């Protein structure tokens, strides 16, 4: 027990928590935005891969780090636009389309990587984002600007969702699209906007991995983080503030298992690696009974059809 | 733009839809081949020849199609009842492990039973393992309302880690030098070759029989009707007296069991033991296959052969020209999306206001 206390009671540990939480914050906010507008986006896993690759490639080819982030966002938005076209304009199954986007984005990124680098055995590296050392705040000063951006996005998204007419319309279109239509607002356009914007955030979530957490692009580097974000949004009850809390709580346990597994002690390392996935399932079960899904989530809407 | 349901669906359009989708897919992937700087005609010729162009190519394609038929059926049966089983990948590994646990050599000891007893026990164990793995998320959904998409997806990662753990520990093959690999299956439990001196094995027959049985179940039995009713509208089905939770559980047993069987058949027919890379995403490809087949069990067989041909063809093509094998995954993904759109156009007319 004392072991755990000494593990947790230092700034380095909390830096790791924030670092692990960052892609989850971006991804969770992205999923939240889509789902609040009534669209499930299972494309996240693949969009994160594509964002990670596109962002990294931009920097590798001489672009600035922020250009890399922008390219990752645009890449995510492009896949989001495809998902929105399929699920919103054509009202196809959100489950199947999302999985299709994941397969497509992942395979395109891997294909593009192999075409660009046919014969490399060790992945080429870039110079990633530096820490914000000039900010004299413990824990936060050891983070990169992307983590600061993620933390700033939480209140920003909450403000948009709860304090602006756009946010009201977004929340409404996820609950009752017919009512939105009655207000003279274009349901398809609004949902498409939400999915594109949310997917851009997912792209940035991927870019954090290659531009900040690591300095290269690896196969299967996203490794289920996207699916975990989908679970976290349910856990957070579709609220940005709680999403931040959920991501941090999750990252806390993930950082803890990393530390504990390094201390060894007879337990196979795979048990520790299972922790994040098991926790996500437990989180879903815990909140399932009182989860209030957006009423129109996964319900395709066709104009004039009831 | 708005969609209008067609009052009359043309049969020609229905038959043409898959071909239109494949044509579109080829057009899109051609651009990618051109980008890789490879001659388009030669690349596709090599891909086709590698998948379907010779007797050897056909045997390789059918070998690859065998597990894909099982995972495709697994997904098709689940999706029919709107049970979103995305966990066929994990269920496949669970089935493979169960098969080796029952029929493995265990360093020369193992169960000392005749093959006639042990073979059905091995298949039964793999069905059970896959079924349990899907029953848990299904129970969580019917009892607690937990979305099974995310739970089945996450279970894939958990199962793969569990496999890795067992291959490091109790199920490790002591003869394998550092390579994570399970003990081998007993020789007399391995499936016979269908064609001598090739890899295609009798598992293919099991797969086709499974597809035929399911086609019958879906079309002509009460269970098939109840599955469709639960999928179409669970509340209405409950009002009409269909036992929704029990039907869901049955669907989960069949779906998970089929994916588990895919693992056992792979081990008994092809690999002989479990490794961490024995399935290059057969579970996920099963989703594409089921959708391409329009969730029809017999259609799954055709779709599985098509996808297997693309995968095998891409492997052999990439040895000839400088196009990465990942082109196969792109083809699979694009064909899924274009098939979705094509079938929509059969049912709906697009009006540009």
Does the residue A205 lie in any domain? yes
The arithmetic mean of pLDDT across residues B156-174, rounded, is: 89
pLDDT value for A306:
54
B267 touches B274 (CB < 8 A):
yes
Mutate to test the interface with A, among B4, B89, B323, B326 (most CBs of A within 10 A): B326
Return the pLDDT at A172: 94
| Best of B2, B71, B157, B343 to mutate (most A CBs within 10 Å, chain A) | B157
Burial track B183-193 (b if 16+ CB lie within 10 A, e otherwise): bbbbeebbbee
CA dihedral B203, B205, B206, B208 (to 10 degrees): 120
CA distance B64 to B74: 16
Best mutation target among A83, A96, A102, A110 (most B Cβ atoms within 10 Å) is A96
**A82 contact residues in B (CB cutoff 8 A):** 337
Q: For residue A91, give the nearest of B3, B147, B169 by CB distance.
A: B3
Classify residue A53 as exposed, middle or buried by CB count within 10 Å of its CB (0-12, 13-18, 19+): buried
Closest-CA residue to A190 (of A176, A164, A169): A169
Asked if B71 and B283 touch (Cβ cutoff 8 Å), the reply is: yes
Give residue-wise pLDDT tens across range B319-349.
888 899 999 999 999 999 999 999 888 888 8
Query: Can you give the pLDDT of all 306 residues of chain A as single tens digits?
Result: 557 777 777 888 999 999 999 999 999 999 999 999 999 999 999 999 999 999 999 999 999 999 999 999 999 999 999 999 999 999 899 999 999 999 999 999 999 999 999 888 888 999 999 888 777 787 788 889 999 999 999 999 999 999 999 999 999 999 999 999 999 999 999 999 999 999 999 999 999 999 999 999 998 899 999 999 999 999 999 999 999 999 999 999 999 888 888 776 778 888 888 988 999 999 899 888 778 888 888 888 877 665
Instruction: Give the DSSP letter of residue A239.
Output: -
pLDDT at B171: 82
* Contact A189/B at CB under 8 A: no
Cβ(B336)–Cβ(B292) under 8 Å?
Answer: yes
Which residue in B276, B284, B215, B274 sits closest to B71, CA to CA?
Answer: B284
Minimal CA separation from A262 to chain B, in Å:
17
How close is the nearest chain B Cα to the Cα of A229, in Å?
A: 10
Q: How far from the centroid of its chain's Cα atoms is residue A257's Cα?
A: 21
B94-111: per-residue pLDDT in tens?
999 999 999 887 654 567
- A13 within some domain: yes
| Number of residues in chain A | 306
Interface of A with B in 33-62 (CB under 8 A): 42
Q: Is B348 helix (H, G, I), strand (E, B) or coil?
A: strand
The pLDDT, as a whole number, for residue A49 is 98
B150, B164, B318: best to mutate for the A interface, most A CBs within 10 A: B150
Coil, strand or helix at A186: coil
Say if CB B313 and CB B47 are below 8 A apart: yes
C-alpha to C-alpha distance for A243 and A225, rounded to whole angstroms: 15
Mean model confidence pLDDT for chain B? 90
Closest listed residue to residue A246, CA positions, set A195, A211, A203, A291: A291
Q: B233 CB near a chain A CB, below 8 Å?
A: no
CB contact under 8 A, A227 and B150: yes
Run of H or E residues at B351: strand B348-351
Does B34 contact A at CB distance below 8 Å? no
Q: Name the minimum distance, in Å, from the CA of B322 to any CA of chain A.
A: 8
Kindly list the residues from chain B whose CB atom is less than 8 angstroms away from the CB atom of residue A100: 288, 333, 336-337, 340
Chain A neighbors of B340, CB-CB under 8 A = 86, 92-93, 96-97, 100
Phi-psi category of residue B182: left, alpha or beta, with phi > 0 → left and psi -120 to 50 → alpha: beta
Alpha helices in chain A (DSSP H): 2-8, 11-36, 44-60, 65-84, 94-116, 145-163, 165-175, 177-182, 187-208, 225-235, 240-262, 269-288
d(Cα B238, Cα B245) in Å, to the nearest integer?
9
Residue B2, SS3 per DSSP = strand
| Spatial CB neighbours of B122, under 8 Å, sequence gap ≥ 6 | B98, B99, B102, B103, B189, B264, B268
| C-alpha dihedral sign at B317, A116, A107, B89 | positive
- For residue range B261-300, what is the model confidence (pLDDT) as tens digits? 999 999 999 988 899 989 989 999 999 999 989 899 999 9
Compute φ and ψ for B15, nearest 5 degrees: -75, -30
The conformation of residue B275, written as its DSSP 8-state character, comes to B
Encoded tokens for A283: 């989180």
- Give the DSSP H/E element, type plus range, for residue B135: helix B115-144
Contact A277 B157 (CB under 8 A): yes
* Residue range B210-218: mean pLDDT, rounded: 96
The percent of residues in chain B predicted with pLDDT above 70, rounded, is 98
Contacts of B333 in chain A (CB under 8 A): 100, 103-104, 107-108
> Residue B350 is inside which H or E element, if any?
strand B348-351
* Interchain contact B288–A (C-beta under 8 A): yes
Contacts of A280 in chain B (CB under 8 A): 150, 154
Q: Do A304 and B2 touch (CB under 8 A)?
A: yes
Q: Which helix (H) or strand (E) holds B61?
A: helix B55-80
- Distant-in-sequence, close-in-space partners of A37: CB < 8 Å, separation ≥ 6: A170, A173, A174, A190, A191, A193, A194, A195, A294
List Cβ neighbours of A5 (8 Å cut-off, separation of 6 or more): none
B197 φ/ψ sector (left φ>0, alpha ψ -120 to 50, else beta): left
List, as ranges, residues 109-148 from A with C-beta within 8 Å of B: 110-111, 114-115, 118
Structural domain boundaries, residue A58: 2-116+131-288
B83/A contact by beta carbon, under 8 A = no
pLDDT at A1: 53
Q: What is the DSSP letter of B84?
A: -
List the single residue in B with minimal CA-CA distance to A189: B1
Chain A residue whose CA is closest to B163: A270
User: Cβ contacts (< 8 Å) between B134 and chain A: which residues?
Assistant: none
Residues forming a β-bridge with B3 = B350
Q: Which residue has the tokens 């045997």?
A: B59
Tell me if B164 and A274 make a contact (CB, 8 A cut-off).
no
Whether A285 contacts B146, CB under 8 Å: yes
Per residue in A222-257, pLDDT (tens digit) is 999 999 999 999 999 999 999 999 999 999 999 988
- The pLDDT of residue B314 is 93
Nearest partner of A234 among A246, A222, A249, A252, judged by Cα: A246
Q: Describe chain B by its helix, strand, coil percentages, rounded to 5.
A: 70, 5, 25
pLDDT score recorded for residue A86: 95
Inter-chain touch A270–B165, beta carbons under 8 Å: yes
The total number of structural domains that make up chain A: 1
Cβ of residue A228 closer than 8 Å to a chain B Cβ: yes
Distance to chain A for B3, nearest Cα, Å: 7
**Record: contact B341-A303, CB cut-off 8 A:** no
β partners of residue B275: B181
pLDDT in tens, A114-166: 999 988 888 899 999 988 877 778 778 888 999 999 999 999 999 999 999 99
Enter the DSSP assignment of B187: G
For residue B335, give the chain A residue with the closest CA: A100
Chains A–B, number of C-beta pairs less than 8 Å apart: 128
Cβ partners under 8 Å of residue A246, min gap 6: A28, A232, A235, A236, A283
3-class DSSP state of B201: strand
Which residues in chain A are contacts of B323 at CB distance < 8 A?
115
- Bin B221: left if φ > 0, else alpha if -120 < ψ < 50, else beta: beta
Of residues A104, A106, A115, nearest to B337 (C-beta): A104
Q: How far is B28 from chain A (nearest CA, A)?
A: 12
Instruction: State both tokens at B257.
Output: 């069991």
- Confidence tier at B240 by pLDDT (50, 70, 90): confident
> How far from each other are the two terminal CA atoms of chain B, in whole angstroms?
6
> How many Å apart are CA A197 and CA A124, to the nearest integer?
30
Q: Which of A116-125, A136-145, B41-50, B191-200 has the lowest mean pLDDT?
A: A136-145
CB contact under 8 Å between A104 and B164, yes or no, is no
Which helix (H) or strand (E) is B239 found in, with range?
Answer: helix B234-239
Residues of A in contact with B155 (CB under 8 A): 277, 281
Q: How far apart are CA A25 and CA A45, in angstroms?
A: 14
Structure-token match 């959708």, residue found:
B291
The complex scores an ipTM of 0.92
Substitution target in A81, A107, A113 with the highest count of B β-carbons within 10 Å is A107
CA distances in angstroms from A226 to A23, A31, A223, B2, B322, listed in the order given: 9, 9, 8, 32, 32
- Show Cβ contacts of residue A127 under 8 Å, excluding neighbours closer than 6 positions: A59, A215
User: Looking at the domain assignment, is residue A121 inside a domain?
Assistant: no
- Kindly report the nearest CA distance between residue A102 and chain B, in angstroms: 9
CATH number of the CATH domain containing A165: 1.10.3470.10
- A75 belongs to a structural domain: yes
pLDDT at B110: 64
Q: How far is CA B62 from CA B93, B127, B191, B308, in A?
A: 21, 22, 15, 7
Which residues are bridge partners to B185 per DSSP?
Answer: B104
């Amino acid at each position: 027990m004392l072991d755990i206390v000494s593990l947790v009671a230092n700034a380095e540990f909390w830096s790791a928590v924030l670092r692990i939480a960052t892609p989850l914050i971006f991804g969770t906010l992205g999923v939240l935005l889509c789902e609040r507008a009534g669209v499930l986006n299972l494309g996240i896993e693949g969009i994160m891969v594509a964002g990670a690759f596109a962002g990294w490639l931009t920097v590798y080819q001489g672009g600035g780090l922020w250009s890399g982030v922008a390219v990752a966002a645009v890449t995510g938005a492009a896949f989001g636009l495809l998902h929105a076209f399929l699920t919103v304009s054509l009202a196809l199954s959100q489950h199947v389309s999302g999985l299709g986007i994941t397969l497509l984005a992942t395979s395109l990124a891997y294909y593009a990587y192999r075409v660009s680098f046919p014969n490399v055995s060790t992945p080429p590296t870039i110079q990633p984002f530096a820490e914000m050392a000039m900010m004299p705040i413990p824990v936060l000063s050891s983070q990169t600007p992307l983590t600061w951006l993620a933390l700033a996005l939480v209140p920003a998204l909450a403000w948009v969702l709860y304090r602006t007419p756009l946010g009201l319309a977004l929340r409404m279109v996820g609950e009752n699209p017919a009512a939105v239509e009655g207000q003279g607002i274009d349901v398809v356009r609004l949902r498409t906007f939400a999915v594109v914007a949310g997917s851009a955030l997912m792209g940035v979530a991927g870019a954090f991995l290659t531009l900040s957490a690591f300095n290269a692009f690896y196969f299967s580097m996203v490794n289920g983080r996207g699916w975990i974000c989908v679970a976290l949004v349910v856990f957070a009850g579709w609220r940005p503030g709680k999403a931040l809390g959920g991501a941090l709580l999750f990252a806390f346990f993930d950082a803890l298992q990393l530390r504990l597994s390094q201390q060894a002690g007879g337990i196979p390392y795979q048990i520790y690696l299972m922790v994040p996935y098991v926790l996500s399932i437990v989180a879903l079960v815990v909140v399932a009974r009182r989860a209030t899904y957006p009423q129109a989530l996964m319900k395709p809407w066709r104009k004039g059809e009831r | 733009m708005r969609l209008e349901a067609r009052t009359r669906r043309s049969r020609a359009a229905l038959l043409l839809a898959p071909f239109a989708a494949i044509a579109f897919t080829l057009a899109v992937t051609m651009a990618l081949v051109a980008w890789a700087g490879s001659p388009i005609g030669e690349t596709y010729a090599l891909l086709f020849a590698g998948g379907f162009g010779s007797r050897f190519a056909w045997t390789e394609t059918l070998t690859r199609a065998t597990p894909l038929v099982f995972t495709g059926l697994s997904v098709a049966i689940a999706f029919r009842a709107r049970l979103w089983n995305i966990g066929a990948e994990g269920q496949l590994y669970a089935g493979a492990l169960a098969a080796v646990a029952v029929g493995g050599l265990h360093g020369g000891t193992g169960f000392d039973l005749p093959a006639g007893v042990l073979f059905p026990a091995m298949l039964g164990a793999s069905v059970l393992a896959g079924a349990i793995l899907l029953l848990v998320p299904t129970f969580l959904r019917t009892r607690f309302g937990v979305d099974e998409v995310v739970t089945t997806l996450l279970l894939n990662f958990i199962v793969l880690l569990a496999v890795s753990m067992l291959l490091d520990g109790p199920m490790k093959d002591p003869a394998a030098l550092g390579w994570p690999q399970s003990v081998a299956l007993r020789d007399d439990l391995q499936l016979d070759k269908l064609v001598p001196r090739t890899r295609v094995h009798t598992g293919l027959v099991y797969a086709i029989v499974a597809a035929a049985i399911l086609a019958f179940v879906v079309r002509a039995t009460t269970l098939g009707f109840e599955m469709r009713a639960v999928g179409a509208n669970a509340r209405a089905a409950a009002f009409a007296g269909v036992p929704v939770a029990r039907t869901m559980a049955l669907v989960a047993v069949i779906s998970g069991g089929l994916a588990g069987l895919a693992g056992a058949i792979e081990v008994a027919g092809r690999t002989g033991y479990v490794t961490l890379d024995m399935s290059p995403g057969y579970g996920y490809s099963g989703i594409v296959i089921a959708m391409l087949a329009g969730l029809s069990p017999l259609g799954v067989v055709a779709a599985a052969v098509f996808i297997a041909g693309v995968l095998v063809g891409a492997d052999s093509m990439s040895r000839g020209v400088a196009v990465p094998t990942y082109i196969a995954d792109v083809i699979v993904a694009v064909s899924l999306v274009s098939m979705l759109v094509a079938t929509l156009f059969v049912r709906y007319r697009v009006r540009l206001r």
